[in-house]
Amino acid sequence: MTQDFFLDTTHSDSSNPDLYLASQSPRRALLLEQLSVDFIVLAVDIDESQTTLEPPNDYVLRMATRKAQQGFRCLDESNTQATYATVLAADTAVVFNQKILGKPKNRADAKQMLSTLSGHSHEVLTGICLAQRQRDGRLRQESLVNKTSVTFRSITEQEIEWYWQTGEPKDKAGGYGIQGKAAMFISHISGSYSGVMGLPLFETSELMTRFGFALSGRRLNER
């Protein structure tokens, strides 16, 4: 299995356990940097197919958990010393009427997605999983789902065509990126902006604090 490791040394805190991000998403890496912790990126590859009748909430939780587990397999296969390692994984889905809208296959698919979202509210679900190998070899694991409601104003066909031509929708779930040019289509969000981007920082920081990470001077026993 191809493995991709790099160390982000922007921040340093030797009191923290080793942290690995099981995602190659540059957006998730930028978000995680905001928590001022060192981390190493792991390239994980899993089957992301949705099972028959699987609810979107269950799907993002399963994907995040499987990515975290695959992260530990990558560490084991590379003989990385990870006795007290922590793996963070996340998965994001755009959901309309209980149907997951994935990345568009082509121009027509993207235009159909954006037409569907136009003038309506939809949910963005981000599942996160934090798994930590304890010193005695046991695996401690917690996961949760962040839900955010996003409302689009009505979008014209000309605007959808223009947006497709920018190239932005091609690799985005639901055919749009909230942090990019699609922001002009969004009239309201209720929930977590960072969750829509791919990593809800409030929930992530709460989990990491419970797992022994010292964030922003917060005491480890503070709840």
Q: Quick one: pLDDT at residue 30?
A: 96
Inside any domain, residue 1: no
Inside any domain, residue 220: no
Confirm if 221 and 213 have CB atoms less than 8 A apart: no
CATH number of the domain where residue 104 is located? 3.90.950.10
91 is annotated as an active-site residue: yes
Q: Tell me which residue of 156, 153, 179 sits closest to 168, measured CA to CA.
A: 179
Q: Which range of residues forms the domain containing residue 10? A: 6-210
Inside any domain, residue 124: yes
Q: Is the pLDDT of residue 60 over 50?
A: yes
Inside any domain, residue 219: no
Inside any domain, residue 195: yes
Average pLDDT over residues 161-176: 94
Q: How far is CA 144 from CA 75, 104, 129, 174, in A?
A: 23, 26, 7, 21
List pLDDT tens digits, range 66-111. 999 999 998 888 876 666 789 999 999 999 999 999 999 999 999 9
Catalytic residue among 91, 109, 136, 171: 91
Name the domain count of the chain.
1
